[in-house]
Amino acid sequence: MKIVITGVTRGLGRALAEWYIAHGHTVIGCGRSAAVVELRFTHPLPHDFAAVDVAQDNRVALWAEKVLAAHGAPDLLINNAALMNNPAPLWKIPAREFDQLIDVNVKGVANVIRHFVPAMVARGSGVIVNLSSGWGRSAAADFAPYCASKYAIEGLSKALAQGLPAGMAVVPLNPGVIDTDMLRQSWSDGASSHPKPDKWAETAAPFILSLGPKDNGRSVSVPGVEG
Protein backbone atom coordinates (compact mmCIF):
# COMPACT_ATOMS: atom_id res chain seq x y z
CA MET A 1 0.00 0.00 0.00
CA LYS A 2 1.20 3.52 -0.82
CA ILE A 3 0.69 5.83 2.14
CA VAL A 4 1.20 9.61 2.22
CA ILE A 5 1.69 11.12 5.69
CA THR A 6 2.22 14.79 6.55
CA GLY A 7 4.11 15.87 9.65
CA VAL A 8 6.17 12.71 9.40
CA THR A 9 9.33 13.77 11.22
CA ARG A 10 8.13 13.35 14.81
CA GLY A 11 5.28 12.34 17.09
CA LEU A 12 2.36 10.44 15.67
CA GLY A 13 3.39 10.91 12.05
CA ARG A 14 6.84 9.43 12.65
CA ALA A 15 5.41 6.54 14.65
CA LEU A 16 2.91 5.70 11.90
CA ALA A 17 5.59 5.92 9.22
CA GLU A 18 7.91 3.57 11.10
CA TRP A 19 5.13 1.03 11.71
CA TYR A 20 3.92 1.06 8.12
CA ILE A 21 7.44 0.70 6.72
CA ALA A 22 8.18 -2.16 9.12
CA HIS A 23 5.04 -3.92 7.88
CA GLY A 24 5.85 -3.69 4.19
CA HIS A 25 4.07 -0.54 3.06
CA THR A 26 5.56 2.30 1.02
CA VAL A 27 5.54 5.61 2.88
CA ILE A 28 5.76 9.02 1.24
CA GLY A 29 6.03 11.76 3.83
CA CYS A 30 6.76 15.40 4.42
CA GLY A 31 7.84 17.52 7.35
CA ARG A 32 9.48 20.81 8.18
CA SER A 33 12.39 19.69 10.36
CA ALA A 34 15.89 18.44 9.55
CA ALA A 35 14.73 14.94 10.48
CA VAL A 36 13.55 14.60 6.87
CA VAL A 37 17.19 14.05 5.91
CA GLU A 38 17.52 11.32 8.53
CA LEU A 39 14.41 9.59 7.21
CA ARG A 40 15.81 9.66 3.67
CA PHE A 41 18.95 7.83 4.80
CA THR A 42 17.17 5.43 7.14
CA HIS A 43 14.41 4.56 4.68
CA PRO A 44 15.60 4.93 1.07
CA LEU A 45 13.54 4.24 -2.05
CA PRO A 46 10.83 3.19 -2.59
CA HIS A 47 10.03 5.40 0.43
CA ASP A 48 10.15 9.12 -0.26
CA PHE A 49 10.53 12.00 2.20
CA ALA A 50 10.55 15.74 1.44
CA ALA A 51 10.86 19.01 3.34
CA VAL A 52 7.50 20.71 2.80
CA ASP A 53 5.52 23.27 4.80
CA VAL A 54 1.91 22.24 4.21
CA ALA A 55 0.77 25.80 4.94
CA GLN A 56 2.34 26.92 1.64
CA ASP A 57 0.03 25.85 -1.16
CA ASN A 58 2.62 26.34 -3.91
CA ARG A 59 5.09 24.05 -2.09
CA VAL A 60 2.43 21.41 -1.59
CA ALA A 61 1.51 21.64 -5.29
CA LEU A 62 5.11 21.00 -6.36
CA TRP A 63 5.51 18.15 -3.88
CA ALA A 64 2.27 16.49 -4.95
CA GLU A 65 3.21 16.79 -8.63
CA LYS A 66 6.51 14.98 -7.99
CA VAL A 67 4.93 12.32 -5.77
CA LEU A 68 2.09 11.55 -8.18
CA ALA A 69 4.51 11.33 -11.12
CA ALA A 70 6.79 8.95 -9.24
CA HIS A 71 4.32 6.87 -7.23
CA GLY A 72 0.83 7.47 -8.57
CA ALA A 73 -2.17 8.24 -6.37
CA PRO A 74 -1.85 7.13 -2.75
CA ASP A 75 -4.05 4.42 -1.32
CA LEU A 76 -4.08 6.16 2.06
CA LEU A 77 -3.58 9.88 2.74
CA ILE A 78 -3.02 10.85 6.38
CA ASN A 79 -3.17 14.56 7.22
CA ASN A 80 -1.26 14.60 10.50
CA ALA A 81 0.76 17.85 10.47
CA ALA A 82 -0.45 20.25 13.16
CA LEU A 83 0.59 22.89 15.68
CA MET A 84 -0.54 23.47 19.28
CA ASN A 85 -0.99 26.95 20.75
CA ASN A 86 0.71 27.98 23.98
CA PRO A 87 -1.87 27.73 26.78
CA ALA A 88 -3.64 31.06 27.31
CA PRO A 89 -7.09 32.65 27.11
CA LEU A 90 -7.97 33.48 23.53
CA TRP A 91 -7.63 37.24 24.03
CA LYS A 92 -4.02 36.78 25.16
CA ILE A 93 -2.92 34.72 22.16
CA PRO A 94 -1.07 36.85 19.59
CA ALA A 95 -2.58 37.08 16.12
CA ARG A 96 0.61 35.70 14.60
CA GLU A 97 0.42 32.54 16.73
CA PHE A 98 -3.28 32.08 15.94
CA ASP A 99 -2.68 32.58 12.21
CA GLN A 100 0.24 30.12 12.07
CA LEU A 101 -1.82 27.43 13.77
CA ILE A 102 -4.80 27.86 11.44
CA ASP A 103 -2.48 27.97 8.41
CA VAL A 104 -1.05 24.54 9.27
CA ASN A 105 -3.95 22.78 11.00
CA VAL A 106 -6.73 23.82 8.62
CA LYS A 107 -5.32 25.40 5.46
CA GLY A 108 -2.53 22.82 5.36
CA VAL A 109 -5.05 19.98 5.31
CA ALA A 110 -7.00 21.70 2.54
CA ASN A 111 -3.81 22.25 0.54
CA VAL A 112 -2.84 18.59 0.71
CA ILE A 113 -6.36 17.48 -0.21
CA ARG A 114 -6.45 19.96 -3.09
CA HIS A 115 -3.37 18.49 -4.73
CA PHE A 116 -3.56 14.77 -3.91
CA VAL A 117 -7.23 13.88 -3.83
CA PRO A 118 -8.06 14.58 -7.52
CA ALA A 119 -5.81 11.67 -8.51
CA MET A 120 -7.52 9.44 -5.95
CA VAL A 121 -10.95 10.51 -7.22
CA ALA A 122 -9.89 9.83 -10.82
CA ARG A 123 -8.89 6.31 -9.80
CA GLY A 124 -12.08 5.90 -7.74
CA SER A 125 -10.49 4.55 -4.59
CA GLY A 126 -8.53 5.60 -1.52
CA VAL A 127 -8.98 6.70 2.08
CA ILE A 128 -8.23 10.13 3.53
CA VAL A 129 -7.66 10.31 7.29
CA ASN A 130 -7.63 13.79 8.80
CA LEU A 131 -6.23 13.82 12.34
CA SER A 132 -8.77 15.47 14.61
CA SER A 133 -8.72 15.50 18.42
CA GLY A 134 -10.85 15.09 21.49
CA TRP A 135 -10.67 18.89 21.40
CA GLY A 136 -12.38 18.79 18.03
CA ARG A 137 -15.41 17.36 19.81
CA SER A 138 -15.11 19.16 23.17
CA ALA A 139 -13.24 22.27 24.36
CA ALA A 140 -10.64 23.59 26.80
CA ALA A 141 -10.42 27.21 27.95
CA ASP A 142 -6.74 27.85 27.16
CA PHE A 143 -6.71 26.11 23.78
CA ALA A 144 -9.29 27.96 21.71
CA PRO A 145 -7.15 28.14 18.52
CA TYR A 146 -6.39 24.42 18.60
CA CYS A 147 -10.00 23.53 19.41
CA ALA A 148 -11.22 25.76 16.58
CA SER A 149 -8.84 24.10 14.14
CA LYS A 150 -9.91 20.58 15.07
CA TYR A 151 -13.62 21.44 14.99
CA ALA A 152 -12.86 22.75 11.49
CA ILE A 153 -11.28 19.41 10.57
CA GLU A 154 -14.43 17.60 11.69
CA GLY A 155 -16.66 19.83 9.54
CA LEU A 156 -14.29 19.89 6.56
CA SER A 157 -14.09 16.09 6.57
CA LYS A 158 -17.85 15.58 6.79
CA ALA A 159 -18.47 18.04 3.97
CA LEU A 160 -15.79 16.45 1.78
CA ALA A 161 -17.31 13.02 2.43
CA GLN A 162 -20.52 14.06 0.71
CA GLY A 163 -18.73 14.69 -2.58
CA LEU A 164 -16.50 11.61 -2.82
CA PRO A 165 -17.22 8.70 -5.16
CA ALA A 166 -18.60 5.50 -3.65
CA GLY A 167 -15.24 3.72 -3.48
CA MET A 168 -13.58 6.35 -1.29
CA ALA A 169 -13.73 7.62 2.27
CA VAL A 170 -12.64 10.56 4.38
CA VAL A 171 -12.53 10.14 8.13
CA PRO A 172 -11.83 12.64 10.93
CA LEU A 173 -9.86 10.57 13.45
CA ASN A 174 -9.38 11.32 17.13
CA PRO A 175 -6.04 9.66 17.96
CA GLY A 176 -6.56 9.82 21.72
CA VAL A 177 -4.16 11.24 24.31
CA ILE A 178 -0.54 10.34 23.54
CA ASP A 179 2.72 11.49 25.12
CA THR A 180 4.00 13.75 22.34
CA ASP A 181 5.75 17.12 22.26
CA MET A 182 2.36 18.71 21.56
CA LEU A 183 0.81 17.13 24.64
CA ARG A 184 3.75 18.23 26.77
CA GLN A 185 3.25 21.78 25.45
CA SER A 186 -0.36 21.74 26.63
CA TRP A 187 -0.14 19.44 29.65
CA SER A 188 3.43 18.98 30.80
CA ASP A 189 2.56 17.55 34.21
CA GLY A 190 0.39 14.70 32.98
CA ALA A 191 1.83 13.79 29.58
CA SER A 192 4.16 11.06 30.81
CA SER A 193 1.26 8.97 32.10
CA HIS A 194 0.01 8.39 28.55
CA PRO A 195 1.34 5.99 25.90
CA LYS A 196 4.33 6.91 23.75
CA PRO A 197 3.74 7.31 19.99
CA ASP A 198 5.41 4.03 19.03
CA LYS A 199 3.23 2.09 21.46
CA TRP A 200 0.15 3.97 20.24
CA ALA A 201 1.01 3.12 16.62
CA GLU A 202 0.76 -0.60 17.38
CA THR A 203 -2.99 -0.09 17.74
CA ALA A 204 -3.57 3.00 15.60
CA ALA A 205 -1.72 1.98 12.43
CA PRO A 206 -3.66 -1.25 11.77
CA PHE A 207 -6.90 0.43 12.84
CA ILE A 208 -6.35 3.13 10.20
CA LEU A 209 -5.75 0.42 7.60
CA SER A 210 -9.15 -1.05 8.48
CA LEU A 211 -10.99 2.15 7.54
CA GLY A 212 -12.81 2.16 4.23
CA PRO A 213 -15.88 3.36 2.30
CA LYS A 214 -18.15 2.08 5.08
CA ASP A 215 -16.63 4.75 7.34
CA ASN A 216 -16.96 7.70 4.96
CA GLY A 217 -17.85 10.85 6.91
CA ARG A 218 -17.89 9.15 10.32
CA SER A 219 -16.08 10.70 13.28
CA VAL A 220 -14.00 7.85 14.67
CA SER A 221 -11.47 7.35 17.46
CA VAL A 222 -8.55 4.99 17.86
CA PRO A 223 -9.94 2.20 20.06
CA GLY A 224 -8.55 1.59 23.51
CA VAL A 225 -6.80 4.99 23.82
CA GLU A 226 -7.99 7.50 26.41
CA GLY A 227 -9.36 10.76 25.02
Residues with active-site annotation:
146
Q: Which CB contacts under 8 angstroms, 24+ apart, belong to 54-59?
A: 54/6, 54/7, 54/30, 54/81, 54/104, 54/108, 54/109, 54/111, 54/112, 55/100, 55/103, 55/104, 55/107, 55/108, 55/111, 56/111, 57/107, 57/111, 57/114
Q: Is the peptide bond before 46 cis (omega within 30 degrees of 0)?
A: yes
User: How far apart, in whole angstroms, are the C-alpha atoms of residue 119 and residue 137?
Assistant: 30
Short-list 215, 119, 125, 212, CA closest to 165: 125
Q: Residue 221 phi/psi, 5° resolution?
A: -130, 150
Extended strands (E) in 76-222: 76-79, 126-131, 168-174, 220-221
Q: Quick one: DSSP state of residue 204?
A: H
